[in-house]
Amino acid sequence: MELAQALSLIREVPDFPSPGILFRDITPLLANGEALAKVTNELGQSDHSYTHVVGIEARGFILGSAIAVENKVGFVPFRKAGKLPHTTIARTYGLEYGVDVIEAHIDALQSDDKALIVDDVLATGGTLVAAIELVLELGASISEVVVLFEIEALGGRALINSRYPEINLRAVVKA
């Protein structure tokens, strides 16, 4: 399967989760094994080495886990507040449609770890900035940030580049 064919399975859902939002639904892509393999292979191919994949709840878990397994590296979930059982660190961030919090276990990454941060969509950049801050607070470095889909009009790349110009940010699809 070609990458374009796999990406064509992404469904656009208007006014979800709230009016004015165009949601990119990747569940049809996830349901197709060839498409999922193609996309996770594309996301996981980095010019920068990494020891761990950080996946952001919820769809970053799906993509990130597949990348970690394929590349035989560890997977670290960054979860919504109150979902991790051990001591955590947290960041509050703005969304296109509200505010949220992500957390990581305080021992999730070490100083010699290099993280590939994975999420499905880059919109305003708030989620990824929070994830970057958590990785750095844990003492690890960031090899790259990758997303399946970037919504360019919402300015997320500019936000990340203004705060972290040294971090490579890659999107499979830009719209």
For the chain, the domains span 47-174
Sign of CA dihedral 60, 34, 123, 143: positive
Tens of pLDDT, residue by residue over 52-96, are: 999 999 999 999 999 999 999 999 999 999 999 999 999 999 776
Mean pLDDT computed over 18-43: 95
Distances (CA, A) of 151 to 12, 77, 81, 82: 13, 23, 25, 29
Total count of residues recorded for the chain? 175
Residues labelled catalytic: 59, 96
Q: How far is CA 72 from the centre of its chain?
A: 18
The CATH number given to 47-174 is 3.40.50.2020
Percentage above 90 pLDDT, the chain: 91
Tens of pLDDT, residue by residue over 89-137, are: 999 997 766 789 999 999 999 999 999 999 999 999 999 999 999 999 9
